[in-house]
Amino acid sequence: MIFCRRIDSPVGPLMLAADESGLRHIEFRDNRHPADRSDWHGGDNDILNATEAQLREYFDGERRDFDLLLAPQGTDFQRVVWQELARIPYGVTISYAQLAQRVGNASAMRAVGAANGRNPLPIVLPCHRVIGADGSLTGFGGGLPTKQFLLRLEGALPGEQGGLF
């Protein structure tokens, strides 16, 4: 059984969904690729509790890495891309071309972009850290203002200078 919970966040409401195998979904209010929620039930489990707590710590600037049991559902290729997303450090951005190279197929930028766009666990699997080769903030399932917010939170917004000068 998949349990779900809606939580408030600085980027708007998030819907969390998990079963005994792990966290399955984090969805924004206007998710570009919403999940089929027909088998979701309101309820409570340890994974939802941990996810909510860790997301709050992340938004409060107290957490850089997530330690959650994850169970995203997708094709083999999508899962390889999502595993690579998890390796992008907090505060770092990479391009779609770099992500394609990291998954072993430098010419697969479109396929990587599509897999990135279908990421069912945004924020935790940080697809917001993937940007255009020119530093542009390209598509994001939660909308570009959300992507901008997340990158600014991490101090990784391209074109912005940190420090005193």
Asked if 4 is an active-site residue, the reply is no
Of 103, 120, 148, 127, whose CA–CA distance to 10 is shortest?
148
Q: Which of 123, 127, 130, 156 is catalytic?
A: 127
CB 153 within 8 A of CB 160: no
Dist. CA 137–CA 93, nearest whole Å: 10
3-state SS class at 9 = coil
Any idea which residues carry the catalytic annotation? Answer: 127
